Amino acid sequence: MRGMVLKAPRTPLVCESRPDPEPGPGELRLRVRACGVCRTDLHVVDGDLAQVRPSVIPGHEIVGVVDAVGPGVSGVALGERRGVPWLGQTCGTCRYCRAGQENLCDAPGFTGWTRDGGYADTVIARADFCFPLPDGLSDEAVAPLLCAGLIGYRSWRKACEAGPIERLGLYGFGAAAHLLAQLALFEGQAVYAFTREGDLPAQALARDLGCAWAGASGEAPPEALDAAIIFAPVGDLVPAALRAVRKGGTVVCGGIHMSDIPAFPYAILWGERRVVSVANLTRQDAAEYLPLAALAGVRPHVRTYALKDANLALEDLRAGAFTGAAVLKP
C-alpha cells in the first residue's frame, strides 16, 4: 500500500510504501477510491489535536471498495462500496455508549487521528463503523458527505431542537456549510451565509446555491436569525453569532477545535439565547443523513487532487484557495 504519513505535527506529510495490512477480527480492508480533505485533518496536521501515536495517515471521509474481510465479519461482500467516517470505534460499555450517545464515548477511536485513515490507497476499518453508500453519487461526490455533510446535519439538528427555523445563519461557508445550505433550502429555510472578509467566490457560491444573503462574518444580517451554526474554528464568531440571532435563538459550534471565545456582554446571551457544541457524530446520523441528502439532491462542489498532492490540498484548504470541498484520488 501507499500512504501520506504525518510523522510529526506541523511537518509535511511523507509518502510511504508499506506491505498491505491484513484485517483483524471485526475489520475490513478497503481499497480507497476517494478521500475528502477536511478541516479536522488540518487540526491533526497542525497539532491542534494532540498527537497520540508516533505517525498517522490522516483522512476520514473515505470511500472504498471492500478488498478483504476479517474474522467474525458477516453481511459484507467483497467488492461492496463502503464509507468510513471520523468515528472509527467506540468502547460500547461506557455510560454514553449505553445511552445511545456513542459520539461522546469515553474511549473512542478516530479515523485519521488514532487510526490510520484514507490519505492512502488502502485502509483498515472496523466493519461495524463502515456503512453502505447511496447509489447515484460518484466517489468524489459522496466523500465530503462522510464528515462535512454529517457534522453539518448533526449541527442542524441541534439548531432545530429549540423549535422551527425560518432563517438560518452559517458562519464559515466551506465544505460543511455549502452542503448543509442545500439541505436547509430543501427544507424551506432561508439561509444566510457568512464568509471571510473579501471571500467573494464563497459568497458567489452561496448565492448560486440559493442563499437569501451572503456577506462577511463581521456584517450584521438584514434580519434576525432563528439559529446560527459556526463551522469556522474562530472563537470571535460566537459573540458575532449571538448578536445575529433573535431572543430564544441558538448558536451551534460545529467544529472539533476552535480558538478561544472572547469575553462578551451578558446582554447578547440574555433573552434565552443558547450556545451549544457538537461533538463527532454517530452511525445513526449517517443512517438518517445519507438518504435525506440523496433525496434533497445535495451535491458538493469538489476540487480533486492526486493523493501525492495531499500537502498542496491541505495548504489550499488553509488558504481558502477553493470553494466547496477537496477530495484526494489515489
**Which CATH number, 3.30.470.20, 3.40.50.720, 2.40.170.20, 3.40.710.10, labels domain 149-277?**
3.40.50.720
Give the contacts of 228 (CB within 8 A, at least 6 positions apart).
Answer: 159, 168, 169, 170, 171, 241, 244, 245, 249, 250, 251, 252
Residue with cell 476552535: 258
Name the residue among 85, 94, 40 with its Cα closest to residue 64: 85
**Distance between CA atoms of 225 and 222, rounded to whole angstroms?**
9
- The model's confidence at residue 136, banded by pLDDT at 50, 70 and 90, is confident
Question: What is the tens place of the pLDDT at every residue in 91-106?
Answer: 999 999 999 999 999 9
What does the mean pLDDT of the chain come to? 97
Question: What is the tens place of the pLDDT at every residue in 234-278?
Answer: 999 999 999 999 999 999 999 999 999 999 999 999 999 999 999
Q: Are 226 and 160 in contact (CB under 8 A)?
A: no
**Distance between CA atoms of 56 and 24, rounded to whole angstroms?**
18
Question: What is the tens place of the pLDDT at every residue in 63-90?
Answer: 999 999 999 999 999 999 999 999 999 9
Tell me what percent of the residues of the chain surpass a pLDDT of 70. Answer: 100
Tell me what percent of the residues of the chain surpass a pLDDT of 90. Answer: 98
- What integer pLDDT is reported at residue 325 of this predicted model? 97
Give the contacts of 133 (CB within 8 A, at least 6 positions apart).
Answer: 63, 81, 82, 83, 142, 290
Question: What is the tens place of the pLDDT at every residue in 151-170?
Answer: 999 999 999 998 999 999 99
Question: What is the tens place of the pLDDT at every residue in 205-243?
Answer: 999 999 999 999 999 999 999 999 999 999 999 999 999
Domain ranges within the chain, ordered by starting residue: 2-147+281-329, 149-277
Query: Considering the entire predicted model, what is its pTM?
Result: 0.95
CA distances from 204 to 38, 198, 213 (A): 21, 11, 10
- What integer pLDDT is reported at residue 21 of this predicted model? 96
Classify domain 2-147+281-329 by CATH number: 3.90.180.10
Mean pLDDT value across residues 299-318: 98
- What integer pLDDT is reported at residue 327 of this predicted model? 98
Reported as half-sphere exposure (CB side, CA atoms, 13 A), residue 219 has a value of: 17
Name the residue among 40, 19, 84 with its Cα closest to residue 176: 40
Mean pLDDT value across residues 163-189: 97
